Amino acid sequence: MNYIQTEIDGVWVIEPKVFADARGYFMEAFKEEEFNSHIGKVHFVQDNESKSSFGVLRGLHYQKGAYSQAKLVRVIKGKVLDVAVDLRKSSPTFGKYVSIELSEDNKRQFFIPRGFAHGFLVLSDEAIFTYKVDNAYAPQAEASIRYNDETIGIDWPVATEQLVLSEKDGRGVSFQDAEYFD
Per-residue pLDDT of 50-83, as tens digits, reads 999 999 999 999 999 999 999 999 999 999 999 9
The pTM for the full model equals 0.94
Q: Within a 13 Å sphere around the CA of 90, how many CA atoms are in the beta-carbon half?
A: 3
Which amino acid, residue 152? I
Separation between Cα atoms, residue 159 and residue 29, nearest integer Å: 33
* Sheet of strand 46-53, all strands in order from the earlier edge strand to the far edge: 2-5, 12-15, 109-112, 71-77, 126-133, 46-53
* Pick from 39, 38, 2: nearest CA to 18: 2
Task: Read off the DSSP letter of residue 135.
Answer: S
Separation between Cα atoms, residue 14 and residue 12, nearest integer Å: 6
Domain boundaries, the chain: 44-177
Contact of 29 with 18, CB cutoff 8 Å: no
Separation between Cα atoms, residue 48 and residue 16, nearest integer Å: 20
Known catalytic membership, residue 61: yes
44-177: CATH topology is: Jelly Rolls (2.60.120)
Residue 61, H or E segment: strand 57-63
**Per-residue pLDDT tens over the stretch 96-149:** 999 999 999 999 999 999 999 999 999 999 999 999 999 999 999 999 999 999
- Catalytic-role residue among 38, 61, 62, 118: 61
- Catalytic-role residue among 62, 97, 118, 131: 131
